[in-house]
Amino acid sequence: MRQCLNPDCLFSNPDSFQFCQKCGNKLLLKERYVPLSILGQGGFGRTFLAIDEDKPSKPFCVIKQFLPQAQGTDSFEKASQLFAQEAQRLEELGKHPQIPELMAYFTYDNRQYLVQEFVKGETLQTELDNNGVFSEQQIKKLLIEVLQILDFVHSKQVIHRDIKPENIILSSDKKLFLVDFGAAKIVKPQQRTATGTIIGSAEYCAPEQSMGKPLFISDLYSLGVTCLHLLTGVSPFDLYSPMEGEWVWRDFLNGNVVSNELGKILEKLASPIAKHRYQSVKEVINDLIPVNQLSTTQQTVKIHQPLVAITSHYQKLEKLLAEGKWKEADEETARVMLAVANREKEGFLDAPSIDNFPCDDLYNIDRLWLKYSNGKFGFSVQKQIYQSLGGTRKYDEKIWIAFGDRLGWRKLEKWKYYNDITFDIKAPEGHLPARFWDDWDWKGVGGGSRCVGRMSSFASRLVDCKI
């Protein structure tokens, strides 16, 4: 079907029609985009699923039509200005792999439009409606991924201002995308204390934002409230008791188990008092990563408390990671692991050396990578991805190839060489460390004979060490 874009019509027409049967409006936008259906509507616009006819693959895309509900010239102009600013923001922010890319921005038939990359998946609200409340592990993963995105957004001096389950999409390849920057605000130094337009969804809106004075940490509040809603399935309005002046979300868990450690993090995120809240994304990550590392079944001091002597062994690795020297850190990781296993001469770890690799050393290496990548890189991240694909101790070539594709180690169905690895925080999740998996020959990362079965052995060792 072809969706009419006329706001007063919106009639669905057969695929072969060029003009709307009902109002005569042209159905091909800018001679290129074919609207198929309505995806949603907000205060400033309506979104449509569409097809880009200009590209050979005819990919899906999203059309956002400027359609302000505001009345009066001043309000209309303000809304129009916000829509134009959204396009400018998306052009810059769309460089992040988990924010939809801006494909076009134009005026057509006296209406403003922008066209974005289509993310195939479901919003977290839809996931909640279809599958029930989220588990603690799902919330931890959600926090780590969205905090990484927010770190990028805030680094561009942008406050999203409308974080909620409907604006986070779980894609078909299980990555989270932050969408709808229509309410976002660019912060200039001289404007940090100025009162601005009150905008955002009331249930998830921080108190200071409700008064027209949003802060970067207002996004953290909204993210915390989003998590409380996903854990309970209850409206945030009902999760906060104004009489007691505190969140009462635990009263609505109905058997859903949430640890005290995660609960404290969520309550600090969602503190109504700004100065009692986390003051940056990195503060949250620093508290969250140790929680994410703890086993849900056995939290032992022996495994999870690094020894001083071992920690000092990794001072160079920590320095390189802290400086963002990802390639040097990757090579240092491989060097140290070979030294620990006494395999420098061989240049790789075989199955017996993996099976006996010290847990304390694995924990220290993994925690350093998690800490300085904000949870994006590390052996534990790779293990989770491997197991999510069905990987076990038994080697399976199809799973290993799927694992390489997921981590970005393969291109055009071939394994990349080590020099082609992306040593950047923008690389896919789990992309690093990579040198450990390199066969040190001409087969590429993960593609050589000595790599065969290594992930299955290594994943088992990570499980044994509760990493």
Same structural domain for residues 156 and 287? Answer: yes
What's the angle, vertex CA 428, arms to CA 426 and CA 433, rounded to 5? 95
Name, in order, each residue with C-beta under 8 angstroms of 301's C-beta and a sequence gap of 6 or more.
Answer: none
Per-residue pLDDT for the chain (467 aa), expressed as one digit of tens each? Answer: 999 999 999 999 999 899 999 999 999 999 999 999 998 876 667 899 999 999 888 999 999 998 765 445 566 677 677 777 777 878 888 878 899 888 998 988 888 898 999 999 999 999 999 999 999 989 999 999 999 899 989 988 899 999 999 999 999 888 899 998 876 677 654 444 444 455 668 999 999 999 999 999 999 999 999 999 999 999 999 999 988 889 999 999 999 999 999 999 999 999 999 999 999 998 998 888 765 443 332 332 222 333 323 345 688 898 899 899 999 999 999 999 988 888 888 888 887 888 888 887 888 898 889 888 878 999 888 888 887 787 776 777 888 888 888 999 988 888 888 888 899 998 999 999 988 876 534 445 555 444 545 666 777 787 777 67
Q: What are phi and psi of 240, to 5 degrees?
A: -115, 130
CA nearest to 274, candidates 193, 167, 189: 193
Q: Domain boundary residue among 75, 97, 117?
A: 117
Quick one: tokens of 278? 């986390």
CATH number at residue 230: 1.10.510.10
What's the CATH code of the domain at 88? 3.30.200.20
pLDDT at residue 70, as a whole number: 45
Do residues 377 and 282 share a domain?
Answer: no
Strand stretches in 160-315, DSSP E: 168-171, 176-178, 185-186, 240-241, 246-247
pLDDT at 69: 55
For residue 167, the 8-state DSSP code is G
Tokens of 280: 């940056």
The full DSSP string for 51-65 is: EETTSTT--EEEEEE
| Boundary of a domain, candidates 236, 267, 293 | 293
Indicate whether 154 and 225 sit together in one domain.
yes
Query: Catalytic one among 162, 366, 438, 439?
Result: 162
Q: What is the reported pLDDT for 451?
A: 53
> What is the tens place of the pLDDT at every residue in 271-309?
999 999 999 998 998 888 765 443 332 332 222 333 323
Model pLDDT, residue 383: 84
Give me the pLDDT at residue 442, please.
41
On whether both 43 and 145 belong to a single domain, the answer is no
Per-residue b/e over 125-153, b at no fewer than 16 CB within 10 Å?
A: bebbeeeebbebebbbbbbbbbbbbbbbb
Measured CA to CA, the distance from residue 61 to residue 57 in angstroms comes to: 12
Give yes or no: residues 73 and 57 share one domain.
Answer: yes
Q: Are 226 and 165 in contact (CB under 8 A)?
A: yes
Q: Note whether 254 and 360 are same-domain residues.
A: no
The CA–CA distances, whole Å, from 143 to 31, 140, 200 equal 41, 5, 20
As for how many domains the chain has, the answer is: 3
Same domain, 265 and 334: no
Question: Active-site residue 162, yes or no?
Answer: yes
Do 16 and 77 have their domain in common? yes
Residue 357 shares a structural domain with residue 402: yes
Domain match, 75 and 216 both? no
Which residues, 6 or more positions from 11, have their beta carbon under 8 angstroms from its beta carbon? 3, 4, 20, 21, 22, 23
Q: Find the domain containing 355 and state its range.
A: 301-464
Whether the Cβ atoms of residue 6 and residue 12 lie closer than 8 Å to each other: no
Give pTM, 2 decimals.
0.60
Query: Could you tell me the two tokens for 29?
Result: 């936008």
| Same-domain pairing of 72 and 27 | yes
For residues 247 and 265, give the distance between their C-alpha atoms in angstroms, rounded to a whole number: 13
Q: In this structure, are 433 and 447 located in the same domain?
A: yes
Q: Name the domain boundary from 117, 138, 158.
A: 117
**Cα 278–chain centre separation:** 19
